[in-house]
Structure 1
Amino acid sequence: MTGVTESAWITPRMAAMNDLPPSLARCLADLLGDGWLTDADALRRYGEDNSRRHALPAAVALPRTVEDVQMIVRACAQHGVPVVARGAGTSSTGAVIPYAGGVMIGFERMTRILQIAPEDRYAVVEAGVINGDLQQALQAHGLFWPPDPASADVSTIGGNLACNAGGPMAVKYGASRDNVLALTAVTGKGDVIHCGSLTTKDATGYDLTHLLVGSEGTLAIIVEATLRLLPRPPHRASLRALYRDVASAAAAVARIMQQPVAPSMLEFMDHACIRLAREVGGADLPDAGALLMIEVDGEAETLPHALEALNRAADGAGVIAIDEAPDEDSREKLWAARKSLSPALRTIAKGKINEDVVVPVSRIPALVAGVEAMASEFDLTIVAFGHAGNGNLHVNLLFDPDNADESARARAALPRLFALTLSLGGTLSGEHGIGVAKRDFMADAFDAATLDTMRAIKHALDPHGILNPGKVLPP
C-alpha cells in the first residue's frame, strides 16, 4: 500500500480556505453573533482531536438551531468552502481534523433533550447532547441508550452516531446504528432531510438513517436524532476468567458466543493489559496470560442460571481460574480499570497506533495468534484488548516516536495487521471509524465498483464536496 498524505485529497479550490471570502465571514458573523469565533485559541482547540493530529480551521461556528446549521452550510456551499462538524473531539482517527481549513461547526450550544417518550421507548435529542448526560436523564424512567463508548462521559450523541460508536455492551445490545430510529440532517446542499420514523419496524423507502450513521459527517451533518431506548436491566453479575495464554482465552470466547446465553459484556485483555489494569488502574488481578471479563444482566431469578452457562463455556483448556465478582464495588473497579487501559498505554510508550479491527468471533484465535507473530517479527510491543464478543479487538502498536527505526517498524506493521484482518473475513473498524487514519486502506477492503458507488452517494448528498473533505474515501 503506497502512502498518501492526509491532505492529498483537497481540491485546489479548497486549498486556501484558511482565509474566508469576506462576504461569507460577514454573513456568518451577523447570523451567529458571539457564536462566530476566529481567535487563535478557538481555532487551535477546534483544530485537534484525540488522534493528536491538528490543522487550523478558518473559523468556528457555534449554531443554536437546525436553521443555523442550514444557513451555515448553504452559505459555505455558495462559496465552495469546506465544512467540518465536530462533537467533543474524541475521534482517534483524525475524523474531524480540518485539513482543508474552512468552517468548523461545534455543537455545544445544541444540547437539548427535546423529548423522552417512556411509553414508546424513544428520546429525541440535539446532536450536542453528551452521552453520559442523556443516560443520567433516562435513569428516572428506568431506561438507557445502549452505546457506551469509553468516552461516554464527554462524547456527544452526534459524534457517537457519526462514527457508529459501540462499547462493551454492543455484544448484546448493538452499536449506535442499531439503536437509532430517525435522524434530522443537513446535506451538503444545505437541505434539511428527515429520515426514519418513531417505530422500530419500518420498510418505507430507502434506509437513509442507517446510511448516515457511521458516515463521519461526509454525507450530511446530523443535527437531531431519535434514539431507541431499552429498559435498564435490574441486576448484573460478572465473571472473571483467567487463562494461561491468549490462545486459550480466544478459544473460550468462541465457545461462549456459540451457546444460547448472551453475555451483556465480554471483554478480552492480554498479559500486558492485565499488568496495566493492576498497576495503573488499581484492579485486584493476579498474573495471567490473558483474561476475560464476562457480564450478564437480567432478573435476579435468572442470573444464577445464566452465570452457570457462561461459566461452563468459559471453562476449558488453559483456564487458570474463574471467579464471580463478590460485590458491586469489585465489579465497578474491574470495569473502571478496563476503561482506563487506552490512556494508560501512554505509560508504556509515548507513541501508539490504536486500531479497532473486527473478525468473525470464531476467528479471534487466528487474529490473536497473528498479532503475536507480528510482535515478534517487527520486534514491537503490541497490546490487544477489547470487545471480544463482537470479534472487535483494540490492537495497539506501541513505539518510541523519537526512535526512527522503531517508528518505521510500527508503520510497516500496520498494513500487515489490516491484511491479516481482511484475510480472516474481517473489517477495518468496529467503532472508531475511518477518518484519515485508515482511509488509504479502504481500497484493500472494497473493490473499485463498490468504492465508486460510495463516491456516487457522496456526490448526490454533497455535490460541492464541502462536507468533511478527504475523510473515509480514498483519493
Structure 2
Amino acid sequence: MTLPPALLNLLRQTFAADACSFDEAERLAYAYDNSRRHAMPDAVVFPTEHAQVEALVQACRAHRIPVIARGRGTNTTGATVPVDGGVVVSFERMNRILRIDPDNRLAIVEPGVLNGDLQQALKPLGFFWPPDPTSSPWCSIGGNLACNSAGPRTVKYGSPRENTLGLRAVAGTGAGFRCGTYTSKGSTGYDLTRLLIGSEGTLALITEATLKLTPKPSGIRTLRATYRDVGAAARAVARIMAQPVTPCALEFIDDVALKLARDYGGEGVPLAGAMLMIEVDGEPDTLAGAAEAVSRAAQGDGLEELKVAQTAEETQALWSARKALSPAQRTISPNKINEDVVVPVSHLPELVDGIKRLSAKHDVLIVTFGHAGNGNLHVNLLPRDDAERERAHACLAEVFALVISLDGTLSGEHGIGLIKREFMPLALSPETLGLMRNVKAAFDPDGILNPGKLLP
C-alpha cells in the first residue's frame, strides 16, 4: 500500500520530524511482535498527545488507511502486526504518569507507561496496580488494557477489566471520547470501559487510563507442593480454591515442565509428577493462619512434599523452577506455540489429562504450566522441525476443541489477535459473533482499526 500524498502531508504537519517515520529500517522494527509474525507498515508515528491521535484517525479514515495501535510489542498472538500495511501508532512517547491519588485509590496514566515503572512509582505510597504479566518490566499499560493481560495475581485481585475505572480514547470515526468513572461504583449507561479492554485496538485507540489502585499487603508467604502426578495436583487446586483463603498466586507446573526446568536450572528444581507454587498475602497477624489454611487444602492423595519458605532466600529458591521455564523452552524450540486456555477450576484435571493424551497422539512435546487458580493454563507446544510443526498445528486445534468441551475459552490473557481468530467460531455462536461485528461497525464503521484481527 502507498499512502496518498494528502495523507503524507498531514502526517508531516501533525507530527514532528522525529515523530513520523517512513524509513524502511524503522518501519521494519514495528512490523512484528512477539508472535514472530511480521508485515511492513507504510509509516510509523509517535504521538505525544490525544489531539494528534484524533487528527491521525480522521485523516486515515478519509483515505481508508489502516491504523494499528502498538504498545511495546510483547504480544504473542500477532495483535499488533500490520497485516494490511497502513500506519502503526506507537504510544511509547505517551508515557507520563499524570496523577496518583492515594485518597481515592486511583492513578491516571498515558498508555505508554510501562507496567513496571508504574509499580515502582506506587510502591513508596503503599499501593500497586494488580495486573502483573510476566513481561511487566517492559510491557505498557496500553498493551495490558488492549489484551486484558493479567498475570499470577489475577486469582485474588482480578484482571485489567476489574482494575480500570475509566478511559479516554479515539474511535475509528476519529471522535475522541471518555468512558467510565473516577469512582469505584458507577451505574450510568453501558460499560464501554470494560468493552474496550481486551478489544485489541479494533474499536478505539486508548490515550489515557484511570486505574484502580490496591493497598500493598505488608507480608507474603510462599509455599511449594509437589505431587505424584498432574491429576493429584489439579485436584489440589480445586480444593485450595474451594476454601475461604484466596491465594494471591497459585501456579501449576507439570512433570514435563519440571524436567525441562531441572535440565536447565539444576538440582534445585524438584523432580515430581507436578508442582504447585502458592503464595498468600496479608497483614502479619493473619498471614500464618492463611498459610496454614492453604496448606491443609494442598494436602491430600498424591502429595509428596510441602515446603513453606521462611526467608526471602528460601522464597527465591522455591520459585527457581518457574523462573527457569521460559529460557529452558527456548533451548528446545524457537518455534514455540504458546497458548493460554482457560477452563473452570473443577475441570482442570480433565484438561491436564486431555493434553497428555493429545501430546502422545500427535507425538509433540507439550509443556503445561500457568495460573491454575483461575483455570488459566499456558499450553506450550514445542515443535523441533517442520514435521513436528505440522503435527503441532493439528494438535492445537484438538486442544482448543477439548477446552471448549470443558466449558472453557480460548484465551485468558494473551488475546486472540491474528493467530487465534480462525478458532473464534469454536468458542462463540454465530449470533454472538454477529453482535460483536455490529459493535465493531458502531465504533469503526470503515474498518480501519487493526483490520484482520480478533473477529473471524
Same fold (TM over 0.5): yes
> Shift in Å at residue 308 of structure 1?
0.9
Question: Which residue of 411, 415, 433 maps to 2:415?
Answer: 433
Q: Indicate whether 1:464 and 2:446 are aligned.
A: yes
Alignment CA distance shift 1:54-1:415 (3 Å): same
> Shift in Å at residue 127 of structure 1?
0.4
**Amino acid in the other structure paired with 1:446:** L
Question: Which residue of 413, 421, 424 maps to 2:406?
Answer: 424
> Shift in Å at residue 289 of structure 1?
1.1
**Amino acid in the other structure paired with 1:87:** G
Deviations 1:334-385 (A, max 9, x none): 4465245234311122321110000000000000000000011111111100
Report if the CA contact (8 A) 1:283-1:334 is conserved.
no
Aligned length: 455
Secondary structure of residue in 1 paired with 2:437: helix
> Shift in Å at residue 461 of structure 1?
0.3
Q: Indicate whether 1:338 and 2:322 are aligned.
A: yes
RMSD: 1.2
TM-score (norm 2): 0.98
What's the counterpart of residue 96 of structure 1? 80
> Shift in Å at residue 31 of structure 1?
1.3
Equivalences for 1:74-473 in 2 at 5 Å?
Answer: 74-281=58-265, 284-335=268-319, 337-400=321-384, 403-473=385-455
**Amino acid in the other structure paired with 1:350:** P
Tell me the distance in 1 between the aligned counterparts of 2:381 and 2:354: 13
Structure 2, unpaired ranges of 5+: none
Secondary structure of residue in 2 paired with 1:184: strand
> Shift in Å at residue 321 of structure 1?
0.3
What's the counterpart of residue 5 of structure 1? none
What's the counterpart of residue 4 of structure 1? none
Tell me the distance in 2 between the aligned counterparts of 1:247 and 1:149: 26
Deviations 1:383-421 (A, max 9, x none): 100000000000011102xx3321111010011000000
Q: Indicate whether 1:35 and 2:5 are aligned.
A: no
Report if the CA contact (8 A) 2:228-2:272 is conserved.
yes
What's the counterpart of residue 3 of structure 2? 20
> Shift in Å at residue 211 of structure 1?
0.2
Tell me the distance in 1 between the aligned counterparts of 2:308 and 2:444: 52
Tell me the distance in 2 between the aligned counterparts of 1:283 and 1:194: 53
> Shift in Å at residue 333 of structure 1?
4.4
Report if the CA contact (8 A) 2:262-2:271 is conserved.
no
Tell me the distance in 2 between the aligned counterparts of 1:353 and 1:172: 28
Tell me the distance in 2 between the aligned counterparts of 1:326 and 1:302: 15
Alignment CA distance shift 1:24-1:229 (3 Å): same
Deviations 1:99-125 (A, max 9, x none): 010000001110000000000000000
Identity %: 56
**Amino acid in the other structure paired with 2:255:** H
Secondary structure of residue in 2 paired with 1:64: coil
Secondary structure of residue in 2 paired with 1:194: strand
Report if the CA contact (8 A) 1:150-1:339 is conserved.
no
Alignment CA distance shift 1:333-1:61 (3 Å): farther
Tell me the distance in 1 between the aligned counterparts of 2:372 and 2:252: 6
TM-score (norm 1): 0.94
Report if the CA contact (8 A) 1:283-1:337 is conserved.
no
Alignment CA distance shift 1:340-1:90 (3 Å): farther
Alignment CA distance shift 1:21-1:336 (3 Å): farther
Tell me the distance in 2 between the aligned counterparts of 1:280 and 1:343: 8
Secondary structure of residue in 2 paired with 1:295: strand
**Amino acid in the other structure paired with 1:150:** T
> Shift in Å at residue 467 of structure 1?
0.2
Structure 1, unpaired ranges of 5+: 1-16
**Amino acid in the other structure paired with 2:293:** A
Deviations 1:195-239 (A, max 9, x none): 000111100011000000000000001110000000001000011
**Amino acid in the other structure paired with 1:147:** P
> Shift in Å at residue 283 of structure 1?
7.6
Alignment CA distance shift 1:282-1:23 (3 Å): farther
Alignment CA distance shift 1:138-1:281 (3 Å): farther
Report if the CA contact (8 A) 2:268-2:320 is conserved.
no
> Shift in Å at residue 90 of structure 1?
0.3
Alignment CA distance shift 1:464-1:282 (3 Å): farther
Report if the CA contact (8 A) 1:283-1:333 is conserved.
no
> Shift in Å at residue 140 of structure 1?
1.4
Tell me the distance in 1 between the aligned counterparts of 2:437 and 2:424: 12
> Shift in Å at residue 41 of structure 1?
1.5
Tell me the distance in 1 between the aligned counterparts of 2:398 and 2:345: 20
Report if the CA contact (8 A) 2:269-2:320 is conserved.
no
Alignment CA distance shift 1:148-1:333 (3 Å): farther
Alignment CA distance shift 1:289-1:146 (3 Å): same
Alignment CA distance shift 1:172-1:77 (3 Å): same
